[in-house]
Amino acid sequence: MSYLELGAIGELIAALATVITLIYLSKQIHTNNKLAISNLENKLNSRVYDRRFTVARDKEFAKFLAKDWGSEELTKAEKTQITQYVTMLIIDAREVFLQDKLGFVSDGLLKARINVLKMGIMTNPTAKSVWATYKRLVEPEFANYFESQIYPDGIEDDAIKVNPLYKSKDNDN
């Protein structure tokens, strides 16, 4: 065998090794992407489990969640608690929306978050006031999606005035 033939065999072996290496790296990248998605979903779901565990072990918090959030008898402090809780849920839905848009979460994760909010938590005036405030702070794409899912008929512009933290220019409560 001549040096030329040995060189050709060497080049063939190198080309095959390169192809095998690229296939291996491609599979590793695919596996790493799956692991990253799994890790992200685990973190997102852990937040939900933590909230549920808090409700399960904290009787006072469970009583608060069980109240009629549309009641006229709620105190300003209770309405403020509602605003903070609802804001947290909206922020969570927004984060899942953004991850879903990037393809980093499974298909049903966003739908599950929205379905929980559709169960009635967003129908009371305080929750509507939170959305009326928060929708001005988020990306228009998320605002449009969220509102189409939760408030398909829209909400009134003055819904923000019900927010217990709202301060009008005329009246500094």
Q: DSSP letter at 99?
A: H
Kindly report each contact of residues 87-90 with a partner whose C-beta sits within 8 Å and lies 24 or more positions away, as own/partner.
Answer: 87/130, 87/134, 89/113, 89/116, 89/117, 89/121, 90/117, 90/130, 90/131, 90/134, 90/146
Q: How confident is the model at residue 173 (pLDDT cuts 50, 70, 90)?
A: very low
* Cα distances (angstroms) measured from residue 27 to each of 33, 105, 106: 10, 19, 20
For residue 150, give the nearest of 104, 109, 110 by alpha carbon.
Answer: 110
Tens of pLDDT, residues 43-90: 877 877 787 888 888 899 889 889 999 888 999 899 999 999 999 999
Tens of pLDDT, residues 85-104: 999 999 999 999 999 998 88
Chain centroid offset of residue 149 CA: 14
In a 3-state reduction of DSSP, which class is residue 141? helix
Average pLDDT in the 139-158 region?
92
Chain centroid offset of residue 55 CA: 20
Q: Whole-model pTM?
A: 0.75
- Tell me how far apart the alpha carbons of residues 50 and 27 are, in angstroms, rounded to a whole number: 34
